[in-house]
Amino acid sequence: MPAQVVHAAFYNFAEGEAARHIPRAWETIPPEASVAARERGSAASLRRILGERLAGSPGLVRAAELTAKAATSAPTEGRVMYAGMRTLAVPGDPVARLWHCATMLREHRGDGHVAALVGARIGGTEAHVLSALAQGIHPPQSFGRIHHLPEERLAAVMNGLYERGLVDTDGRFTDAGRRTRQRIEALTDELAAPPYDALSPAELDELIRELEPITATLVAAGSQ
């Protein structure tokens, strides 16, 4: 896959970032090996954080089953990253399955988020600025995902947001900017719903219930 396609699919990379690594990255490790290593490492980390009791519990097994049911049921049209994840085999191990299927759901949501951003005419770097402001980071140019970009590039992004009335002269949200982000997030939530239509109300309640101790353990360990 050429760098231009990677850049388009991931959306929020700054211009030229993907091209610095693709396709040269595949000279270090082929895509298939990279995906396999990522899955092994992520499942091992999840198992370590949860501990053997929770990782081997019937609740986790059931959560993995229900997550897989949701994650493999949504339409792929217009969902580039999600469609790519759907081509990968779903692991049999419950811990690996839970991580893999949660990743599919995340990418499904991410595709919808990109669609919402495009509809609002918010570019990738601009999206990071709005996210930083929503997290209380100021100046938003100091946000870890964009602080390394050239100052002139960041200045142009901030000027563009200012000219559209989304940030003020101090680089903080205006009311219009805050409403724009709220609309984007609301539409993202709406577009993320289809996978869960595969679950009955009882199954959805069960999934939430089984995920609660897993989520609490991950949050306590500093996971996000």
- What does the pLDDT read at residue 194? 96
**Is 101 within 8 Å of 90 (Cβ atoms)?**
yes
Alpha carbons 144 and 129: distance in angstroms, whole number: 11
Predicted pLDDT of residue 10: 81
pLDDT of residue 106: 97
User: Residue holding tokens 């091209």?
Assistant: 19
Q: In this structure, what token pair is assigned to residue 197?
A: 């239509």
CA distance 195 to 223: 24
Question: In sequence order, what are the residues at sequence separation of 6 or more whose Cβ sits closer than 8 angstroms to the Cβ of residue 126?
Answer: 157, 160, 161
pLDDT of residue 224: 66
For the chain, how many helices (H) and strands (E)? 10, 0
Mean pLDDT by 10 residues, the chain (224 residues): 80 80 86 93 96 96 98 95 95 97 97 97 95 96 92 95 97 97 97 97 98 96 81
- Rg from Cα positions in the chain: 19
**Spatial separation of the C-alpha atoms in residues 116 and 109, rounded to whole Å:** 10
What are 173's strand-pairing partners?
167
pLDDT at position 31, please? 87
Instruction: Give strand pairing partners of 56.
Output: none
